[in-house]
Amino acid sequence: MDQYLQQEINELLEHLDAREHISASQSDENQQATEVIDVFVIRRQVEESEPPTVESTLAETSDGQETRAAPLHQETTELPFPPPPCKARRRRLPLVIGAFCLLVAVALGTVTFLIVFAPSATVTIIPASTRITTTRTVTIVSGNANAAQQQVPGRLLDTITLSQAKTVPATGMGHEPARAAHGLITFYNALPAPQTIPAGELLTGADGVEVVPLQDAEIPAGTLATNGQVSVPAQAVNAGPGGNIAAGDIYGKCCRDDVFVSNGTFRGGQDARSY
């Protein structure tokens, strides 16, 4: 840019020197006239290809001829904030990058320090639990169920009995002895004190079948409202099918006062057989 300015100034001075030779012959006639030339050089921020601008002010004589004023005065005005050279910006770029990297490294180091050395705690949360239990009794009916009375509809299922048999030819002879019928005997105690009936106590039913208890009967004491009672296993004295008796065949007082007895069904009595 300085080269363009210097070239423009030189061309302006050459132009003024040429006019000075032309007006030398008229210097005597124009002694009373004066000429003042003010030259202002303005430097602007322009591109490399734009030449500087030179402005000048010429004073004319009375006959219309331009003369050169002496001495030549020049002023140069520069912008207050010239753009930084490209090389300076390139030199500052590594410094900016280095400062940015340093800040990133300091931030990462701070975060790492806080993660490694920060205090830690273990929190265990145990939820409170409560077991709630409710019980309800319902009645199954075969007809219309009443929910207000805790009834649900249902039906009675028939009892299913499965049996399996197989007949095979005999390979020899065998013998099975006679077996005595067996069942349960129940004793009732009307006294307010417990009583004991020993095993083997002979009991006779209405059809004459004799049975005996197989263990001692410990009868608890009775109360004014109910009698004490106990049931023990018993069997017929004589083996064979004659000992099979129905329930209630033995009923009434036995053994001693205030002791009553009744029997359940006796089964299983059979004669000896060979096969």
Q: What pLDDT does residue 75 have?
A: 46
- Alpha-carbon torsion, ordered 38, 43, 44, 46, to 10 deg: 120
Residue 249: Cβ within 10 Å count: 19
Q: Which pLDDT value is given to residue 26?
A: 54
197 neighbors 189 (Cβ within 8 angstroms): no
* 145 CB-near residues (< 8 Å, 6+ apart): 151, 152, 153
Across 152-183, b (16+ Cβ under 10 Å) vs e yields eeeeeeeeeeeeeeeeeeeeeeeeeeebbbbb
Burial class (CB in 10 A: 0-12, 13-18, 19+), 186: middle
> Does pTM surpass 0.85?
no
Rounded Cα distance between 90 and 96, Å, is 10
Domains of the chain: 1-13+35-86 (no CATH), 177-274 (2.40.30)
Task: Report, as ranges of residue numbers, the positions in the chain whose pLDDT lies below 50.
Answer: 25, 28-34, 45-49, 52-81
**Cα four-point dihedral sign 102, 103, 105, 110:** positive
The confidence score (pLDDT) of residue 45 equals 47
Distance from the first to the final alpha carbon of the chain? 145
- Beta strands per DSSP E along the chain: 38-42, 53-57, 73-77, 139-141, 151-153, 175-176, 182-189, 195-197, 203-204, 210-213, 217-219, 228-236, 251-254, 256-263, 273-274
Instruction: Report in angstroms the alpha-carbon separations of 96 from 83, 88, 104, 194, 255.
Output: 19, 13, 13, 112, 123
Partners of 15 in beta bridges:
none
pLDDT for 9-18, tens place per residue? 777 777 666 6
Is-contact 141 155, C-beta < 8 A?
Answer: no
Q: What is the pLDDT of residues 186-238, one digit of tens each?
A: 999 999 999 999 999 999 999 899 999 999 999 999 988 899 999 999 999 99
Q: Which two structure tokens, joined as six digits, stand for 29?
A: 């006639």
pLDDT at 21: 54
Amino acid 8: pLDDT: 72
CA 214 to mean position of chain CA atoms:
67
Residue closest to 188 by CA, chosen among 231, 225, 248: 231
In terms of Cα–Cα distance, which of 228, 232, 179 is closest to 203? Answer: 232
pLDDT at position 15 is 67
